[in-house]
Amino acid sequence: MFYFVCALYAEAKPLISALSLRKDAFSCPYDTYFSEDSSVVLAISGTGPIAGAAATSYLLTRFGFRNHADFLINFGSCAGNEPGLHLINKITDDTTGRTFYPDMLYDLSSCGLPSSSEKALVTVPRVVSSLEDPSCLYDMEASGIYQAASHVLSPHRVLFLKYVSDSGVDAEKTITAEKLTEDSGKHIPTVLSVLEKLAEACEEKPFIDEELLVSTSLALHLSDTLRHELRQLFMYAQASGTNIKEILDALDAEGKLDVSSKREGKVVLDEIRKQLI
């Protein structure tokens, strides 16, 4: 399933039309739209990081999620100096100073998003009148959406696709709903291509070395929850082309796999995660 969070209806309107989404007739805290086969669901969050986080939590809680197959995509406008649609590889929350890094696991260059389209983004609490860092993009929701999604989805399952609508100068006066919709519509073919690419990636079931997974879980005395996390790391390594056995062999050579408690095993699991992500 693909989950979309868009701040404004004007941004989402061309996507709703292209995917033939229909509005949920039931009473919902957010305007929500579905595809006929329920493979896509989209919510209009409203502006601001809290609104984005709340809508994301609502979607993932109401409809459930499958971390091995589902994606959450934040699509919408932003301020910046470089026109076009951008794939966000770094998000900084201007209020807290915290920084987040969505994983760039999938090659989307064939969809019209080459590495040159990747940009850093700053989430601010209000519309910017100027760009403090001209090399960055600015929006009002991404950091909240990322933090909410990160509690249930792996970093490579959350994507941020932002199109530049203005350069931050008198934006509130010049950016109309009509312009947001017009600009959004220009990038819908790219977004649809991304959906096709990600759907194909979901169909490719990565081979997991089950014997190595089981032996590592036992050696680290992992609980069921942590064993599930280790499986996710095995899948991530396979999808990203990383040889996890080499990482485990190196840890074993350092004597780090020789643990005697679940607490020590969790420490090693964290070390594996740091080396992979």
pLDDT score at 235: 80
Report yes or no: 147 and 53 within 8 Å, Cβ to Cβ: yes
Residue-level pLDDT at 67: 67
- The pLDDT, as a whole number, for residue 51 is 96
Provide the strand spans (E) within the chain.
Answer: 2-6, 22-23, 32-34, 40-44, 71-79, 85-93, 99-100, 118-123, 137-139, 158-166
CB atoms within 10 A of CB 126: 10
Q: How far apart are CA 144 and CA 117, in angstroms?
A: 22
In this structure, the strands spanning 22-23 and 40-44 are unpaired
State both tokens at 167. 């350069």
pLDDT value at residue 267: 93
Predicted pLDDT of residue 223: 86
**pLDDT over 70 for what percent of the chain?**
96
pLDDT value of residue 241:
77
pLDDT in tens, 217-228: 999 999 877 887
Q: The whole model's pTM is what?
A: 0.75
Contact indicator for 145, 53 with CB cutoff of 8 Å: yes
pLDDT at residue 205, rounded to an integer: 56
Q: What is the pLDDT of residue 3?
A: 95
Cβ atoms 42, 32 nearer than 8 A:
yes
Res 168: pLDDT: 77
- What does the pLDDT read at residue 172? 59
Q: For each of the domains in the chain, give its residue range(s) and CATH number, in order of start.
A: 2-203 (3.40.50.1580), 210-276 (no CATH)
Task: Please compute Rg for the chain using Cα positions.
Answer: 20
Low-confidence stretches of the chain (pLDDT < 50) are: none
